[in-house]
Structure 1
Amino acid sequence: MASERMPRLVLTMGDPSGIGPEIIVKALCDPMVRKMAHCLIVGNAAIFQQAAKLVEANLPVRSVSGFDDPAFDPDGLNVLDAVELDLRRWTPQKPNEESGRAAIRAIEVATQLVLQGAADALVTAPIHKAAAHQAGLPFAGHTEFLAALCGVTETRLMLVCDELRVIHVTGHMALLYALAALTPERIIKTVELALPVLSWLGFDHPRIAVAALNPHAGEEGAFGDEEERLLRPAVERLRASGLEVSGPVPADSVFWQAWQGAFDLVVALYHDQGHIPVKVLAFDRAVNVTAGLPIVRTSPDHGVALDIAWQNRARATSLMAAIRWAVMMAKHRALGRSG
């Protein structure tokens, strides 16, 4: 990213039956967001015309070919109209194969723009997994699709808010399976994948804590042996590599300690262990960051919200936070490259 220009973000429209289009319009109507970055929406221009009308946006919708198009308006809703959508087969709040196909195409186009260097970061609106699968998506979800497009095999979900940063060793799987998937190697790999993201967040020498699995970190084996058998070996190997890693730290205190500034990152062992503290602190401000990708990717920490979609009820708070964090990460990443 050239130092003399504003960061360039591409925003995918998400599933057009959900809240993606309207929260994008609402976010970009905020002048503070437009001052942070030049934003290019990858989607369907007709959908965004409707979304702008729904929310009574005071910005024009412009179809552009990219950031360098003379028609690009920093104070407009600039849409790369790269997604075909048969509006006769599209219904608000009712995702289907048509809307799923549109969401997939937006992700493909936007990701390529970032990989090619035309944009500095990717911000994705929510997709509807079932609709995407109906349209032929051969991956479990959004993140797995992005990993394939970027040519990587392992990623991790990180949640970021002003108070906490949490990365998850396991993701969307039943708790029984998540526990079975825990190994020292997987914990170590999780930390390794977190390091570039932490650097993009401004933490070049991060203080990392690994959360314990059992009450009181197992109480020396009284409440389980996973801490001694799985977690402590991983922590010791990470320390031996020169990283500042603590743990296993009892899960009932580690997030509070991080909130108080003792740690820059908490490694959570399973989905809810990491999600609950972040959502209690920052339910509508938390942002998903994908660790393991060669690009900056953020997304709001919510789904398509079909129950309120296309009613002008959806709030853009989390998407605006995703844009803010993407800008910050893109700037730090550019500084690292230039340094």
Structure 2
Amino acid sequence: MKPRPILALTMGDPCGVGAEIAVKALANKAFYDQARPLVIGDLTRLEYCFKFVELPLKLNVIRSPEEGRFEFGTIDVLHMEVPGVSSLGYGKVDAVAGEAAVTYVLKGIELAKAREVDAVVTGPLNKEAIHLAGHHFPGHTEIFAQMTDTEDYAMMLFADGLHTIHVSTHCSLRQACDRATQKRVGVVIRLAKEVIELSGLENKKIAVAGLNPHSGENGAFGTEEIQEIIPAIEAARIEDPATTIIGPVPPDSLFVRAKAGEYQVMVVMYHDQGHIPMKIINFDEGVNVTLGLPIIRTSVDHGTAFGRAGQGRASANSMEAAMRLAITMAENKFYNSGGDL
């Protein structure tokens, strides 16, 4: 039998739906057939969510991944004691919850760096809560980048077989235009090649979007394509002639052509250029990935859903999709066996 990758699921904000979607995902036996999942989080939060699944489940408290049973019906938990979590309610922003969410993530990164786990799958955290706790990161991506000393990284969204990598994400539109430089676009094209390898794609074509309407139309609607994006594409082609890189593709036709099967990997210039179409394509099962890291990190592509937290109404679809992608990436990176869940 091929090795089953070890996945560390970080629970996310205790006041949100992170515990619920982890429990619901781990009530699916298929994940234990192809992976060895464990949860980094809080025992009481996870146990509370047992009433939201039909199968009888139990918890196995572990101190390290090597103590995991990894058996369906038993959720292995690396319990992280954070003062005050047990008294938290649901659906509210709280500094204690922010501290807990960051604690879980940092432990996952530590284990992945030590190769005690093969991938980290993150549940949702609340940015305001982590800021109240004194951790001034824009989100998960920046935490992973700082803790792994990674300078060149990018966010990728995955859904329905499409991979969308962003030149910039959480910044103003004005800043996004300024960040679409030849150097940065070139870095993200190189990271897009990582996607092809880790996802085991047969279609090795990368499509690069323009920044302006009609990709600038030869300078009529802007010169960023001429001055920055086209030189980055040409340099990338010289660097790796084996990879087909097309563009700049007009943004309004980029995803139409992708859905038609012309390519699966796209480089977009800013947050909404990628997020809006990807969430239209499949909002419920989107996955967020941080590229460029020395470790594998996938994540749900939704927030803490405070309005549903603690009620049993949260969907685990995005968590399950994030786990499936993490398994594929870990197999291709560490075990070279391929295959999807």
Name the TM-score, length of structure 1 as normaliser: 0.93
Q: Residue 9 of structure 1 aligns to which amino acid in structure 2? A: L
Structure 1 partner of 2:298: 298
Cα distance per residue 1:37-82 (max 9 Å; x no partner): 1111001112111122354552112212233326553431111112
> What is the identity, as a one-letter code, of the residue corresponding to 1:167?
I
Alpha-carbon separation, structure 2, partners of 1:115 and 1:50? 31
Deviations along 1:133-174, one digit per CA (max 9) or x if unpaired, are 111213222111111111212321001123311100010111
1:222-256 deviations in Å (ceiling 9; x for gaps):
22222212211111111111242111111111212
8 Å contact 1:44–1:85 — kept in the other structure?
A: no
**Cα distance in 1, alignment partners of residues 168 and 289 from structure 2:** 15
Name the CA shift for 1:160/1:306 in 2 (closer, same or farther; >3 Å): same
Match for residue 273 of structure 1?
273
**Within 5 A, what are the aligned runs for 1:259-270?**
259-270=259-270
Partner of 1:333: 333
> For 2:76, what is the secondary structure of its paired residue?
strand
Q: How is 1:178-193 mapped onto 2 (pairs within 5 angstroms)? A: 178-193=176-191
- 2:250 and 2:36 mapped to 1: Cα distance? 43
8 Å contact 2:155–2:289 — kept in the other structure? yes
> 1:314/1:85 Cα in 2 relative to 1: closer, same or farther (>3 Å)?
farther
- Give the match for residue 148 of structure 1: 146
Partner SS, residue 78 of structure 1? strand
1:176 has 2:166 as partner:
no
Q: Which amino acid aligns with 1:61?
A: L
SS of 1:288's equivalent in the other structure is strand
In the alignment, the residues of structure 1 paired with residue 190 and residue 336 of structure 2 have an alpha-carbon distance, to the nearest angstrom, of 18
- 4+ residue stretches of structure 1 with deviation over 4 A? 54-57
Partner of 1:248, secondary structure, is strand
Superposed CA offset, 1:176-232 (max 9, x none): 111122111110011122322321111387211111122222222222222212211
The count of aligned residue pairs is 336
- Separation of aligned partners in 2, 1:83 and 1:167: 36
Paired amino acid for 2:318: S
Cα distance between partner residues in 2 of 1:23 and 1:302: 11
Is the partner of 1:95 in helix, strand or coil?
A: coil
Counterpart among 46, 51, 54 of residue 53 in structure 1? 51
Structure 1 CA distance for aligned equivalents of residues 85 and 221 of structure 2: 57
Give the gaps of 5 or more residues in structure 1: none
**Equivalent pair of 1:163/1:259 in contact (CA under 8 Å):** no
Letter of the 1:151 counterpart: D
TM-score (norm 2): 0.93
Confirm whether residue 115 of structure 1 aligns to residue 113 of structure 2.
yes
C-alpha separation between the residues in 2 aligned to 1:187 and 1:247? 12
Which residue does 1:240 correspond to in 2? Answer: 238
Report Cα offsets for 1:79-131 as digits up to 9, x if no partner: 11123242454111113111111111111111111111111111000111111
Checking the alignment, whether the CA contact within 8 Å between 2:20 and 2:312 is kept in structure 1 is yes
SS at match of 1:68: helix
Q: CA offset at residue 336 of structure 1?
A: 4.9
Q: CA deviation at 1:273?
A: 0.6
8 Å CA contact 2:16–2:90 kept in 1: the answer is yes
Residue of structure 1 in register with 2:65 after alignment: 67
Is there any run of 5+ residues in structure 2 with no aligned partner, and where?
none
Shift of 1:330: 0.5
Contact 2:29 2:72 in 1 (8 A): no
- Preserved contact between residue 192 and residue 206 of structure 2 (Cα < 8 Å): no
Q: Which moved more, 1:262-271 or 1:311-320?
A: 262-271
In 1: Cα distance, 2:80 partner to 2:284 partner: 30
Q: What is the distance in 1 between the residues matched to 2:157 and 2:310?
A: 27
